[in-house]
Structure 1
Amino acid sequence: MSGWSHEVVLAATIVSWVIIVSGLAQTAVYLMQLVLAGFALSQRPPVARSALLWHRYGDIAPPIALIVPAYNEELNIVESVHSMLALEYPNFEVIVVNDGSKDRTLQCLIDAFRLVKFQRPYEEALTHMPIRGLYSSPVTERLFVVDKENGGKADAQNAGINVCRAPVFCVIDGDSILEPDALMRATQPFVDDPERTIAVGGTIRIANGSRIESGRVTKVGLPSKLLPLFQVIEYLRAFLMARLAWSRINTLMLVSGAFGVFRRAEVVAVGGFTKGSMGEDLDLVIKLHRHMIDSGRKYRIQFIPEPVCWTEAPESLGVLARQRSRWQRGALECFFRYRSMLFNPRYGRVGFLGFGHIFVVDVLGPIAEVLGYILIPTFWLLGILSFEHLLAFTALVFTYGVCISVCSLILEEAELQKFPRARDLAVLTAAAVLENFGYRQINNLWRIKGYWQYLRADQSWGEMTRTGLSGTRK
């Protein structure tokens, strides 16, 4: 270090410690999530069998509408609708909203279910692009299709909320498949605590590698490709650890747009989904928190691990990069839109813990990590920083990352046990280690790209190419 001036060494040391402290803050958040998730799982009663759930809740389960926004989903939409129509639930309807698709999404539905146009009065409580037609099916009275002009996912969801008549609705992506008892499990909190429960989220799982027949996952397997395999670990960490932890203290800030159940009255009261938002699911949950707290009402937004929704994960770097950049834009957009809630005593734990988590992980996290990857090794190579600084950063990035991923896998095996084969668990453990060496770093680069797109006010969605789930063994 003798060749460098005192000021340069001091500046490098300060920058390094800022990066390390930021990493420690993220580490503290993840550790808290892990502890809370473990505690929540230990306090949960045994998971009831589907038959027992039906016996206990079948007569009192609220009517529910499944709202399925679909844009260019011709590969998966028919399979997904079949899976929804086969759900084990006493009173539900499926409303597919074709959001001006450019492919054969609408025609595939017309052909598969013999759709015909019909008239159905509906409440125009939320604004959306014009509806071109409503369709019903002589094959099943549960299915309705809304054909509308393109307005984006949030706009399509708002149209579905207007058309539906049930007091509770579920939003699900058009490329997703629900397990047969998912609705019965997801609506359980609405029955047990009807006054306070306003939203419930379930687990999203990666379907790549599993066998799917007639709209159901008949055999759970792992993807054969490395990229979706890493995403299996990511989803375990995001859902079973993070969301279960935040739900435990009623600070859950995100109910996934791929599978979430909401009370219609509260969603209409906050204006529905925000049109044009890159993170419409995060945006809605934040609005619900703010509305309920401002109204002085007691409420619950919960996450339940057992209701499982299967979805197709991107298998190419290009598609995954667009998805992750969009997610980052959505997080930044929501944070700055509702930034007045950050550390605001009025919003209690939501303002301090919920928004604090978004601030540390989504706003500061990507910048701090990428700077750390570049600056700390560079400072060490130039002799400006000591080996101890490099070792501290390396241990923080890699050792703790591996620990969190493996612990998330342990929680999954203790709770859901969706991977019955020992070989699958061994493969996932190896993936949990390997993802920290390259995949995590490139993910942060995609998030930085999302940062740049947000600063440029880039609202492009990007093509999410699908390969199709039917019979998949990828």
Structure 2
Amino acid sequence: MEILLQGIGWFIIAYMGIVIVFYLAMLIIALFQIRKNYQLDDTEPYEDLLHVSYSKPLSILVPAYNESLGIIPSVRSLLSIEYPQFEIIVINDGSKDDTMEKLIDEFQLNKIKKIVKQKLDTKEVKGIYQSSIIDYLYVIDKENGGKSDALNAGINVSSYPYFCSVDGDSILERDAFLKVMKPIIDSDGDVIATGGSVRIANGSHIENGSIKKVGLSLNPLVVMQVIEYLRAFLVGRVGLSRHNLLLIVSGAFGVFSKKWVIEVGGYSHTVGEDMELVVRLHRHLKEKNANKKIVYVADPVCWTEAPEKRIFLKRQRNRWQRGLLESLWMHRSMAFNPKYGSIGMVSMPYFILIEFLGPVVELAGYLYIQSYFIGGVYKDLALLLVLLFVIYGSIFSMLAVLMEEWSLKRYPKARHIAVLFFYSLTETFWYRPLTVIWRCQGIVDVLRKKRGWGDMQRKGVSQ
């Protein structure tokens, strides 16, 4: 029995060591990439894009289901963006609250007759509305079919060659689209999708759909999510994007070439529709030998509302893990398959062995450490595991906070950085074990064939 326990301990230690080395490599890549990008002047590279002749027109899709509290500020924020030619299409996906009524009243919507080519199958569209005061604002009223169905309906109605999906509770910075579209414009079609950063709006002061003052929530759960988002976007996605290995473009803020998305069949009806679409695009590109890229741009920022209660955060993380597993399973033939190049040999193995299996191994590690206090395991192994978990769960998060301060500097007060730095030190000891448990429950729920998003409570980002 002792030999078995010792073997398990060494396996977990070896696994965590490999994960830490991989993350360290991504961190170094991200540091060099961010340094390269932000040595440029902050405004000059984007001035030309304000002229229509240099830019590409964009359709902004906003799926909304029971978003009464946040939908008006979100649309207002989109109306104030700096971009030469765009349209906004809000898709009311059968909301049971007064989302549709608020949109009609606020923007003076009138029902119109619009010829729509049904390129993607969707639930029945009950009506298409256009604002009488903002002629490039449209609202689709349709039967409930889920976020994927709503986005597919928006793609059908959209007029322009690129579209951006934005969550109905999100606020975008004014120059976000100039920055997220720049790689697409500069590449002359070689880049077919881009994703921007998503940040937590809780605690910030918002007026008329614009961030007036960036703040930090007093809720420890929200603060930890701020750190988690910094780590995921600044370290994880910058590192993967550098070599076209990105498999996730956030559903809260991502731009896609409509031609390629329609070619692969649009969004699928999965829990993790955003990741599944990106994996399917990569698969399609490799099978067609098309030399296209999907990239992440760190600077354009979308602010969104984070769950403030543990029950809703648990549901969110559970859903994310189910979406991850569902996407990986649907495209399992790509994994370790040289036919799909670096996506098959690096990206898919990374998401399987680290993102999917990571919570299982971490949970085993926490249980192993706990068993030390009741006897039966080696003290040296337990202490080594604690050290590795602190490096993986806290040190990398601290470095992500420092990268934020060094590069983007979205949090203006030194106190904010100090709070983030302090909380990142505590991550290993309370927050990370919670998310590990919730993600493992998500794996179990997939095996139980549980589906659906689960209810989420919204306060509204305008609060």
TM-score between both structures, scaled by the size of structure 2: 0.97
Unaligned runs of 5+ in 1: 1-7
Task: Identify the range of structure 1 (94-103 vs 396-405) with the bigger mean alpha-carbon deviation.
Answer: 396-405
Within the candidate set 241, 261, 265, 2:259 is matched to 265
The reply to whether residue 428 of structure 1 matches residue 420 of structure 2 is yes
Distance 2:363 2:274 in 1: 27
- Deviating beyond 6 angstroms after TM superposition, the runs of 4 or more aligned structure 1 residues are none
Within the candidate set 448, 451, 457, 2:449 is matched to 457
Question: SS of the residue aligned with 2:47?
Answer: helix
Give the Å deviation of 1:212. 0.3
Give the Å deviation of 1:435. 1.9
Distance 1:325 1:26 in 2: 22
Number of residue pairs the alignment of both structures matches: 462
The reply to whether residue 31 of structure 1 matches residue 24 of structure 2 is yes
Give the Å deviation of 1:171. 0.3
Which residue does 2:272 correspond to in 1?
279
Structure 1 contact 201–256 (Cα < 8 Å) conserved: yes
The reply to whether residue 361 of structure 1 matches residue 354 of structure 2 is yes
Structure 2 contact 50–82 (Cα < 8 Å) conserved: no
Distance 1:321 1:77 in 2: 24
Which residue does 2:331 correspond to in 1?
338
Which residue does 1:240 correspond to in 2?
234
Which residue does 2:128 correspond to in 1?
134
Give the Å deviation of 1:45. 5.2
The reply to whether residue 441 of structure 1 matches residue 418 of structure 2 is no
Write out aligned runs for 1:55-204 (5 A).
Answer: 55-59=48-52, 60-204=54-198
Give the Å deviation of 1:382. 5.2
Which residue does 2:377 correspond to in 1?
385
Structure 1 contact 65–93 (Cα < 8 Å) conserved: yes
Give the Å deviation of 1:381. 4.0
Within the candidate set 247, 254, 262, 2:248 is matched to 254
Distance 1:194 1:280 in 2: 27
Which residue does 2:289 correspond to in 1?
296
Letter in 2 for 1:140: I
Question: SS of the residue aligned with 2:268?
Answer: coil
Give the Å deviation of 1:336. 1.0
Which residue does 2:222 correspond to in 1?
228
Give the Å deviation of 1:54. 3.0
Give the Å deviation of 1:19. 1.9
Structure 1 residues 312 and 344 mapped into 2: Cα distance closer, same or farther (>3 Å)? same
Distance 2:222 2:49 in 1: 38
Distance 1:337 1:409 in 2: 35
- The Cα offsets for residues 330-370 of structure 1, whole Å up to 9 and x where unpaired, read as 00111111111111111111112211111122321111111
Structure 2 contact 38–407 (Cα < 8 Å) conserved: no
Which residue does 2:406 correspond to in 1?
414
Distance 2:47 2:120 in 1: 34
Write out aligned runs for 1:44-55 (5 A).
Answer: 44=37, 46-50=39-43, 53-55=46-48
Within the candidate set 375, 393, 400, 1:401 is matched to 393
Distance 1:80 1:56 in 2: 23
Question: SS of the residue aligned with 1:457?
Answer: coil
Letter in 2 for 1:363: F
The reply to whether residue 320 of structure 1 matches residue 320 of structure 2 is no
Identity %: 43
Structure 1 residues 42 and 50 mapped into 2: Cα distance closer, same or farther (>3 Å)? closer
Which residue does 1:3 correspond to in 2?
none
Structure 1 contact 292–298 (Cα < 8 Å) conserved: yes
The reply to whether residue 21 of structure 1 matches residue 14 of structure 2 is yes
Distance 2:392 2:96 in 1: 45
Unaligned runs of 5+ in 2: none
Structure 1 contact 209–220 (Cα < 8 Å) conserved: yes
Letter in 2 for 1:311: T
Task: Identify the range of structure 1 (167-176 vs 409-418) with the bigger mean alpha-carbon deviation.
Answer: 409-418
Question: SS of the residue aligned with 2:62?
Answer: strand
Structure 1 residues 286 and 408 mapped into 2: Cα distance closer, same or farther (>3 Å)? same
Question: SS of the residue aligned with 2:215?
Answer: coil
